[in-house]
Amino acid sequence: MKNGQEQLVRSTEVNRKVGTLLAHRLQTAQQRLRDRLADAWAEKSASVAKTPGDMGSLAAGWTGYVTDLAERSLLFWDTLYQRGNQFVEHKRAGQPPVLHFDYETVLDARTLARPVNYALLRIIPPKGVKVDPKRRPYMIIDPRAGHGPGIGGFKDDSQVGVALREGHPVYFVIFFPRPEPGQTLLDVCEAESVFVKKVRELHPDSPKPVIVGNCQGGWAAMMLAAAGPEDTGPIVINGAPMSYWSGAWEEGENDNPMRYSGGLLGGTWLSSFISDQSDGIFDGAWLVQNFENLNPANTFWKKYYHLFANVDTEPPRFLEFERWWGGFFLMNREEIEWITQNLFVGNKLWGGGIKAKSGRNLDLREIRSPIVLFASMGDNITPPEQAFNWVADVYGSTEEIKARGQVIVGLLHEDVGHLGIFVSGGVARKEHAQIVSVLKSIEALPPGLYGMNIMTVESKGGGKSYEVEFVERRLEDIVARLNRFQRTDEKPFEAAAAVSEFNQHAYELFAQPMVQAMSSEFTAEMARTFHPLRAQRWAISELNPWLGWLAPAAAMIRSQRHPLDASHPWRQLEAMGSDLIAASLDFYRDVNNAVSEATFFEVYGNLFALRQADGQGASPDEPVIEARQLPVVQAALAQIAEGGFAEAAARVGFLLHRHGEPMPLSRLEMRASLARKYRDLLPDNPPAELRRIRGIQEIIVRFEPEKALATLPGLVADPQERQRLLALMDAVVSDPELLASDPTAEQRLALERVRSVLKIPKAALPKSPRVRTSAKSVQKKGAGSAKR
């Protein structure tokens, strides 16, 4: 009885919240439609009313408009005809990557012992661009989410372009249209590990390669780094969904509809069904169609009207993008099932329950290199919550990030869409270029979580430059800011995963044998050929004999074109009609998204409430543990008297650190310069180990500052080690670069306290810089000071 009452209470509460949310969503959608319609009418009507008198009345301008309309219509269809021919030619050529740059194949993974349809390319620098083989190489992994590879090097202003211009060797991971028989995602991860080792072999004098992952390539890069942390350098993941259940469930726009699709379709069985219908091959065109369904206004109207309205200038850009967007690639059933069951619905990547082919658990905490996360508030495919929440799932607290020596940097764009993260020239010139330029400095950051801010500086001449700063954040604060409801909206996804698992087993038991028996390669190829996204391309191409007249007619029109200015009143009315159609389609999208969201929470919210009432679900009220009581903090404090010179230097470094201030790039570069200048005095541990030591010492000083000082002498009990520490302190605080940055009173006081506890004669910071000629001379002078 008690359980039944509890279930009823929880179900009533779920229904109330869902009803309130749906009403709010629909009211917002209606208001948005009214505003869009009113703005379109007011803007275009005012423009028509202000038309200069020499353009004549609407009636007098009708003939010119009809002529222009007919010409643009013919040129529009000719552009679609060119798109169709481009689609056919690209497929005949084997669908090569749409890279803007020349390249050569370094490794073809189809020749490996466990073949997969991947290859490693070396990008050939264009004329006038020189790369230094000793600089850190870049390895870019493009998304395999229905389309072909190449979007990371789609144009000159791209991830490939900015890395080449900075002098870095660039390698690109591509994949071929058809998978190798039986290949799995773990086989792909293993092949990419071979690629990384090959890049390191080709650049033995360079730092470990940067791994750049775009969207699906982002979590592939993270799997790669977790499987082989000793081989990878910094990881940069752009628009990559890592925490699949997360999203923006809040008061406002419902712009993350993709996270509900798995539950609304009944789970992962549908991807298995589609694959079985196609003889064990999953057609990536279905994934692309899912993307197109997210924005019906753009899919069915806006992108085509934009081409139609600007048909004299827009076709090259339209065709360039469509060459990539219309290249549909295939996956094995095993691959799509692994993705849907472990990631999209299962959400297992961050849990450490996935194993590499070697048997090693893919624990993201084992990644030793800095991680850069780039996401956008305008991304409706990978919202910031999905890009960042995994950090909280994996590490749990700021202290654990520090204790593990990890550096995580977040960069957030305000409004660019998902594709803009990869293809926008403006994003490449600003965000991607700055990431490339500061990666070396990011490696010098102390362990922790940082926000990367890029400030635009305009010169008097109108030129633009950028300044970068890093602001340390608390993980707990970031999670609270991104998730207004403490992620309670993710609980129903547990029920969705359970239903998905049941449906998957039911399909495999009762339906799969029959579906597989009815499919063949012939029926699979026919289904792929007549998929709507392919058919709309080849149907308007040279394969259609009824359209042979279109290209000659378009050529004739271009030779005697009579364009009408976009400010003409009839053109303005046409644009107003386009705005009204787009607003209506956006209204349809908003209503559909609101209903889908409400349906998901109505179904799975109630199921989760039932599970919870039966004691099967997770408790919504988890106890809050104070930071000091965290196991990782207790473990660090237990080591307060343990360690040697490296621990002592790290502890002193944190004591002298500027606390609570943004860290501009210039200060990081100064620190890197000091590290190079006095490397003979610094610990010689590997960078990842030094970051781990630095993180533990920071925890010790933060929670036990007095004990940290009192136990410092024990870390350098050896007289030579203590002299070395003194020499390092004396060198750094006397360096002209540091003095130019104006040390704070807090730093001076900290230095005095350290000297006092080490029984070193008190010495203030010098008023004038003393230039050191070499680290060895500094060490000798430091040793002399210790003797005194």
Residue 727: name the closest of 646, 784, 769 by CA.
Answer: 784
Single out the residue of 675, 673, 682 nearest to residue 649, CA to CA: 682
| CATH number for position 231 | 3.40.50.1820
Cα Rg of the chain (Å, integer) = 30
- The mean per-residue pLDDT over the stretch 427-437 comes to 90
Measure the CA angle with vertex 98, ends 95 and 102; round to 5°.
110
Q: Which of 447, 232, 242, 458 is nearest to 351 (CA)?
A: 242
Whether residue 769 is predicted with pLDDT greater than 60 in this model: the reply is no
The percent of residues in the chain predicted with pLDDT above 90, rounded, is 58
The string of DSSP codes covering 339-404 is HIIIIITT--GGGT--B-TTS-B--GGG--S-EEEEEETT-SSS-HHHHHHHHHHHH-SHHHHHHT
Give the model's pLDDT for residue 58: 64
311-334: pLDDT as tens digits: 999 999 999 999 999 999 999 999
Same domain, 692 and 733: yes
Which of 607, 624, 641 marks a domain boundary?
624
What DSSP designation does 153 have?
G
In the predicted structure, residue 765 carries a pLDDT above the cut 50: no
pLDDT at residue 780 above 80? Answer: no
- pLDDT of 778: 38
Query: 183 near 116, Cβ under 8 Å?
Result: yes
From 446, 479, 496, give the residue that closes a domain: 496
680 and 715 within one domain: yes
- Average pLDDT over all residues of the chain: 87
Which position has the higher pLDDT, 410 or 361? Answer: 410
The answer to whether residue 634 scores a pLDDT higher than 70 is yes
pLDDT of residue 773: 36
Residue 449 and residue 478 in contact, taking contact as beta carbons nearer than 8 Å: yes
Q: Does residue 687 share a domain with residue 614?
A: no
Check whether 493 has a pLDDT greater than 50.
Answer: yes
Write down which residue in 602, 624, 646 finishes a domain: 624
Q: Is the dihedral of CA 354, 359, 365, 368 positive or negative?
A: negative
Shared domain for 609 and 715, answered yes or no, is no
Q: Answer yes or no: is 82 within a domain.
A: no
Clarify whether residues 364 and 485 are in a common domain: yes
pLDDT (0 to 100) of residue 620: 47
- Give the pLDDT confidence score for residue 60 in this predicted structure: 66
- For residue 642, the enclosing domain spans 628-787
Helices (H), 168-215: 185-202
User: What is this structure's pTM?
Assistant: 0.89
Task: Identify whether residues 451 and 464 lie together within a single domain.
Answer: yes
On the 0-12 / 13-18 / 19+ scale of CB atoms within 10 A, 72 is: buried
In a domain, 306, yes or no: no
Within a domain: 454: yes
CA angle 22, 26, 29 (to 5 degrees): 140
What pLDDT is attached to residue 720? 87
Lowest mean pLDDT among 151-155, 526-530, 735-739: 735-739
Q: Is residue 558 part of a domain?
A: no
Instruction: Examine the pLDDT at 787 and tell me if it is beyond 50.
Output: no
Give the count of beta carbons closer than 10 Å to the beta carbon of residue 484: 14
* Model pLDDT for residues 205-243, shown as the tens digit of each residue: 999 999 999 998 998 999 999 988 999 999 999 999 888
Contact 315, 79 (CB under 8 A): yes
- Looking at per-residue pLDDT, the higher value among 510 and 58 belongs to 510
CB 217 within 8 A of CB 144: yes
Most confident region among 611-620, 706-715, 755-764 by mean pLDDT: 706-715
Residue 437 shares a structural domain with residue 584: no
**pLDDT of 772 strictly over 50:** no
Q: What is the pLDDT of residue 203?
A: 97
Q: Within the chain, how many helices (H) and strands (E) appear?
A: 34, 13
Report pLDDT digits (tens) over 364-403. Answer: 888 989 999 999 988 888 888 889 999 999 998 999 999 9
Instruction: Tell me: do 590 and 669 sit in the same domain.
Output: no
Number of domains observed in the structure of the chain: 3
Average the pLDDT over 41-68 and give the result.
Answer: 70
DSSP 522-584: HHHHHHHHTSHHHHHHHTTSTT-GGGTTHHHHHHHHHHT-----TTSHHHHHHHHHHHHHHHH
Q: What is the pLDDT of residue 352?
A: 64
In this predicted model, which residue has the larger pLDDT, 269 or 787?
A: 269
The percentage of the chain sitting over the pLDDT mark of 70, rounded to a whole number, equals: 90
Give the model's confidence band at 443: pLDDT under 50 very low, under 70 low, under 90 confident, else very high: confident
| Residue 513 in this model has a pLDDT that exceeds 90 | yes
- Looking at the fold, whether 608 and 635 belong to one and the same domain comes out as no
Predicted confidence band of residue 408 (pLDDT cuts 50, 70, 90): very high
Q: Can you tell me the mean pLDDT for 265-278?
A: 95
Structure token pair of residue 619: 């408790």
227 φ, ψ (degrees, to nearest 5): -75, -30
Give 293's contacts (C-beta < 8 A, 6+ positions apart).
299
For residue 1, is pLDDT > 60? no
Task: Inform me whether the pLDDT recorded for 566 exceeds 90.
Answer: no
- Does one domain contain both 114 and 208? yes
Separation CA 464–CA 460 (nearest Å): 10
Residues 195 and 49 in one domain: no
Q: What is the pLDDT of residue 210?
A: 96
Do 612 and 640 belong to one domain?
no
Cα separation, 402 vs 635, whole angstroms: 13
> Quick one: pLDDT at residue 786?
36
Please, are residues 654 and 446 in contact by the beta-carbon 8 Å criterion?
A: yes
Choose the weakest-confidence range: 5-9, 307-311, 428-432, 651-655.
5-9
Q: Say what the pLDDT of residue 616 is.
A: 56
Does 242 map to a domain? yes
- Alpha carbon distance, N-terminus to C-terminus of the chain: 82
Contact 276, 515 (CB under 8 A): yes
CB-based contacts of 54, cutoff 8 Å, min separation 6? none
CB 138 within 8 A of CB 168: yes
pLDDT at 764 over 70: no
Mean pLDDT over 545-574 rounds to 92
Do 205 and 169 form a contact (C-beta atoms < 8 A)?
Answer: no
Confidence check: pLDDT of 774 > 50: no
Q: Residue 72: inside a domain, yes or no? A: no
Residue 88 lies inside a defined structural domain of this protein = no
Higher-pLDDT residue of 658, 260: 260
Within-domain flag for 682: yes
